[in-house]
Structure 1
C-alpha cells in the first residue's frame, strides 16, 4: 500500500464512523482511478429501511453511469469491510477492477459471533467466491482495530 491508497482507506474509516453516527452500520467506501485519483465515495445508508444501500453497491452504480468500461476496469474500490455477495456481484457486473478492504467478512463474522449477534439473512462469502476474477487485497491489519471498534460500538449499543 502506498500513501495515497492508505489515505483512501483512512477515508473509508471516516465514512464508516460517519455512518455509525447517523444510525447506520459502519461501512464506508472510496472509488479511485487507476492513478489513485479520488472519483467518488459513499457510506452505508440502510437505516432508512433499504438494506441494499451499501456504499460498494452505490459506487458500482455511480461507476456504471459516469465511467467508461476501460476506466471501470482499472479503477479500485477501497472499503472498510469486504464486499457482501450483493456488492461483489454488482462490482463484477459493472466491470470494476481491484478491491482493497480493511477487514474481511470472516473477521467480521468472528466478531459478531463473539458478541452474540444473530447471523445475517444472506450467507457471508468472500469476494472471489462470488466474483472469481476480481483482484482483491486485504485485510489491512493496521486499520482493522479501528473498524472492529466501530462494529463493537454498533452491536454493543443494541444489546
Structure 2
C-alpha cells in the first residue's frame, strides 16, 4: 500500500460532534496508524480543516431538518 493522505481525523470529527452536541458515532475513532503500519501517512490537511468542518455541519443539518 502506498501513501495515505487524509483531510481530517476521526478525533477531530469526534471533537466537532461533542462541541455541537451531535450523537456519538457508532464507529470507533482509531488513528490510521492503529489500522495499518509501515506506510507513509500525511494528515490532517490543516488548510482544509475549516472547509471539511463546514461540510460536516451542513451534512448534519441537512439530515436533521
The verdict on a shared fold, with TM-score over 0.5 as the criterion, is yes
Structure 1: which 5+ residue stretches go unaligned?
A: 1-95
Larger RCO of the pair (alpha carbons < 8 Å, separation 6+): 2
Counterpart among 111, 127, 145 of residue 50 in structure 2: 145
Q: Distance in 2 between matches of 1:116 and 1:149?
A: 15
Contact 1:115 1:155 in 2 (8 A): no
**Higher Cα Rg: structure 1 or 2?**
1
Structure 2 unaligned regions, length at least 5:
none
Matched, 1:116 2:17: no
- CA separation in 1, counterparts of 2:55 and 2:34? 26
1:155 matches 2:60 = yes
Provide TM-score, normalisation by structure 1.
Answer: 0.37
User: How does the TM-score come out when normalised to structure 2?
Assistant: 0.83
Q: CA deviation at 1:110?
A: 0.5
Residue 118 of structure 1, CA deviation: 1.5
Which residue does the alignment assign to 2:36?
131
Residues 22-65 of structure 1 deviation map (CA, whole Å, 9 limit, x = unaligned): xxxxxxxxxxxxxxxxxxxxxxxxxxxxxxxxxxxxxxxxxxxx
Paired residue total: 64
